[in-house]
Amino acid sequence: MIGYLTHWRLHLATVIAVLIAEAIGVVRIPLSGQFTMVLLPLVPAFAVGLMLNPHVIKAANILVKSEDSGAAAQALQVAVMPLIALLSVYIGPQFSAVADVGAALVLQEIGNLGTVLLSMPLAVLAFRFGREAIGATFSIAREGGIAFIFGKYGGGSAEATGVMGVYICGSVFGALVFSLLPSLAAALSFFDPRAIAMACGTGSASMPGACSSSLAAIYPENAELIGALAASSNLMTGLTGLFFILFITLPLTERYYRWLKALRP
């Protein structure tokens, strides 16, 4: 547990970030047609957090020490639990609506192929990764995928380095990116709000919460349905994702990597 006295600087920095973010509030930026980009208080809070991070700005070490910023990662896992619980509560009253899109929830794992087919060529041919590319591109690299890679290749392997690199980037920037994407997707006027809500279920911890909250601000009349679909999508990803990795994406990634490496001069 994170002691209140031991890491008082971390708590003070959090309070500062929250106060500034709440003072700014929700920012709406007009886009094409009737849609607007909704920037939740999460965005300025993220910016303030970066400025108070001694690993980003060394002068911030006056307030927040390196050990404090490391402890923040542990606190995040606990802090997002009430939000995830709230999203889960939405499933019951909206069960019939969730059941209507059941097939789409199951088939969404096919989207993992995009991380392989699109990201692997960049990793191998452009950035000249070794087998780190396998761990970095075989899936969206959340907790289940990490456990699978560590079990198959070992914690000290190149594949483990790749998956952990993507996991860390997702943990640091994932919530921020996911809070912006719904506005952009809605502005295209192509995707059904239910499809965007299901896409919010990708990732873990704060990502579904940030995404569904931003989308609910655009479609307030469907807020409960959006929360239910995001939570259901996240649950299905956890249940079916490992089987998809085991039988489809990882074998494909291994073969794809060997083929791309042979093309590399």
3-state secondary structure 71-86: HHHHHHHHHCHHHHHH
**Number of domains the chain is built from:** 2
Residue ending a domain, among 15, 41, 76, is 76
Report how far apart the first and last C-alpha atoms of the chain are (Å, whole number).
Answer: 51
pLDDT tens sequence across 206-216: 678 778 888 88
Res 190: pLDDT: 82
For the chain, which ranges sit under pLDDT 70? Answer: 1-5, 31-37, 69-70, 72-81, 83-106, 171-172, 204-206, 238-239
Say yes or no: 141 and 22 in one domain: no
Residue ending a domain, among 50, 76, 102, is 76
| CA pair distance 208, 220, nearest whole angstrom | 17
Say yes or no: 50 and 172 in one domain: no
Say yes or no: 67 and 86 in one domain: no
3-state helix, strand, coil split of the chain in percent (to 5) is 75, 5, 25
| CA pair distance 175, 77, nearest whole angstrom | 13
- How many Cα atoms sit within 13 Å of 256 on the Cβ side? 24
Say yes or no: 179 and 216 in one domain: yes
Res 1: pLDDT: 45
Res 2: pLDDT: 46
Say yes or no: 72 and 169 in one domain: no
Say yes or no: 11 and 94 in one domain: no
Say yes or no: 123 and 235 in one domain: yes
Say yes or no: 112 and 176 in one domain: yes
Say yes or no: 88 and 209 in one domain: yes
Say yes or no: 164 and 244 in one domain: yes
Q: Which domain holds residue 27?
A: 1-76
**DSSP H or E segment with residue 37:** strand 36-39
pLDDT tens sequence across 210-234: 788 888 888 888 888 888 888 777 7
| CA pair distance 256, 137, nearest whole angstrom | 11
Say yes or no: 28 and 86 in one domain: no
Say yes or no: 241 and 123 in one domain: yes
Residue ending a domain, among 41, 76, 111, is 76
